[in-house]
Amino acid sequence: MIRTQRLAAGFCALLAALTAGLAFPAGAVADETTANAPKVNLVLDVSGSMRAKDIDGGSRMAAAKQAFNEVLDATPEEVRLGIRTLGANYPGDDQKTGCKDTAQLYPVGPLDRTEAKAAVATLTPTGWTPIGPALLKAAEDLDGGTGSKRIVLISDGEDTCAPLDPCEVAREIAAKGIGLTIDTLGLVPNVKMRQQLSCIAEATGGTYTSVEHTEELTDKVNQLVDRAADPVVTPVATQGADSCAKAPTLKSGLYTDREEFGQERWYRVDLDPGKELRASVSVSADRGMNPDYGLLVRAVTAHGREIVRGEAAGNGRTDVISTGLRYPKAESDDDAPAETVCVQVTNSYSAAAGVKTTPGMPLELTVDVVDGPSQASDVASFGLGRGWWLLGALVLAGFLAGVLWGWLSRWRVAVWRTN
C-alpha cells in the first residue's frame, strides 16, 4: 500500500513538472530577453567615391573597414547588430537600377564577429548613393521587438536618387512612431552633404558628426552602438525664457530646447539645503557655422549674483560643444526653504553666409539634484585650514626629531669622552 502511494505521488510530481515545463518553456525567458534586446543597423556607403584616398593616407573604404572591425570586436553582447550596404553591387550607369542597390550584408541579430568581419572584407567601392532607399530598407530590418532601435549611416556624399529625398524618408520613419533614431556620420564632408545628413539625423532626434580620421570614425560608431545598449531616456521638450523670472522650473531629468544664435535661455531649479545641483548643456551645430564660438552656462541667484559657471569653446572642428557646472547648497540647522537657482545658457555661435538662422540650434540640458557632499567625509570641505594643520604637524615633527637627534649626539660624545 505504501509503495503504491509513493508511486502515485511520484507520478503526480512528474506530471506537475511536465505541466510546468509546458506552461513555462525554457525558451520563454530567452525569447523575452531577445524581444527587449537593443538593435543597431550600420548602413555603409560603398559607392564609387569611397575609393578616394584622403583619410590618413588611405582610402575612405579602408578607413571604414578598419573602423568596422574594431567596432565589431567591441559590440556589447546584448546588442543585436546588422550591416546594410548602399551602392555596393551595381557598377552601371542606369539610375533606376543603381537606386535599388541596397542589400543586407549581415542580418540584424546575435553577432558572429568572424562572419561579420568576413562579410565586410568583401566590400569594394562600386556604384550609386541611394541613401533614401537604404534608410527605408534599414528601418524594415529593425522591425519587431520592444528594445531601442538605431540606424548609424556612414556616407561620403549626397544621395543620388532624387526625387526620393532622404530627409523626407527620415521624417516618414519618425512619423511612424516606432522609436527609431538615425545617427549620421559624414566622411570628409562638404556643405551640401553636411546639410543633408544633418537633416536626416535631426528628423529622428539623432546626431550628425563630421569625420576626417579613422580613429574618429571608430570612436564615434563605438559610442553610438554602446548608446543603443543604454536604458532609453526620452528627453522632455521645454522652452527656456529670456529672463529668470519667466523661466520654467525644472526637476532632475533630460530636457531639449532650441536656442537662437547669440541668444540666452533661462531655466530655474529649486535646491534644498544639503543638496547639490549638477547641470550640463550641449548645443549642436546642425548647420554651417563660422569658426571660433563658445558656450556658457551659469548658476545665478534670484537676485542676479553669479554662483558658479562653466565654459567651453570651439574652432569649427566639432559639431557639438558641451559644458557644465556643480553647485552644492550647504546644510542648515533650521528648516530653511529651498533656494531658487537660475540657470542661464548663452552661446556665441554665428551662422555662415547664406545659412538660415531659424529654427534655433538643438540644445540638450541635463539637470540632476543629488545629495550634497558630507562635511565630515569630504576632504575638500577642510579647505585651506586643513593645509595649515598639516604644515603645523610637519613643523612639530621636524622640531621633535631635531631635539631627539641633538640629545643622542650629546650622549654619544659624553660616552666617548668617558671611555
In the chain, which residues fall in CATH 3.40.50.410? 29-229
CA gap 85, 126 in Å, rounded: 11
CB 347 within 8 A of CB 285: no
Query: Which pTM was predicted?
Result: 0.56
CA gap 44, 134 in Å, rounded: 9
CB 218 within 8 A of CB 152: no
pLDDT at 108: 95
Pairing of strands 39-45, 80-86: parallel
**311-340 core/surface letters (b: 16 or more CB in 10 A; e: else):** ebebeeeebbbbbebbbbbeeeeeeeeebb
CA gap 198, 204 in Å, rounded: 10
Tens digits of per-residue pLDDT, 35-65? 788 999 999 999 999 999 999 999 999 999 9
Tens digits of per-residue pLDDT, 285-336? 777 788 888 999 999 999 999 999 999 888 766 567 889 999 998 887 667 7
CB 261 within 8 A of CB 351: yes
**Which residue carries 650622549 as its cell?**
411
Cell of 177: 512612431
Q: How far is the CA of 164 from the CAs of 154, 267, 300, 329, in angstroms?
A: 19, 41, 49, 55
pLDDT at 347: 93
Give the list of residues 6+ apart from residue 126 with CB closer than 8 angstroms, or none.
46, 47, 48, 87, 88, 89, 90, 91, 101
Phi, psi at residue 188, to the nearest 5°? 45, 65
CA gap 316, 293 in Å, rounded: 8
CB 247 within 8 A of CB 240: yes
pLDDT at 383: 39
pLDDT at 385: 42
- DSSP letters for 213-251: SHHHHHHHHHHHHHHHHSPP-PPEE---BSSGGGPPB--
CA gap 243, 263 in Å, rounded: 11
Query: What's the residue count for the chain?
Result: 419
The CATH number that domain 236-371 falls under is 2.60.120.380
CB 72 within 8 A of CB 111: yes
CB 294 within 8 A of CB 311: yes
Q: How far is the CA of 263 from the CAs of 260, 266, 299, 351, in angstroms?
A: 5, 10, 17, 13
pLDDT at 33: 58
pLDDT at 157: 86
pLDDT at 6: 46
Residue among 258, 252, 251, 256 at smallest CA distance from 234: 256
**What residues in the chain have per-residue pLDDT under 50?**
1-24, 26-30, 375-386
In the chain, which residues fall in CATH 2.60.120.380? 236-371
Cell of 49: 567615391
The CATH number that domain 29-229 falls under is 3.40.50.410
Element (DSSP H or E) covering residue 366? strand 361-371
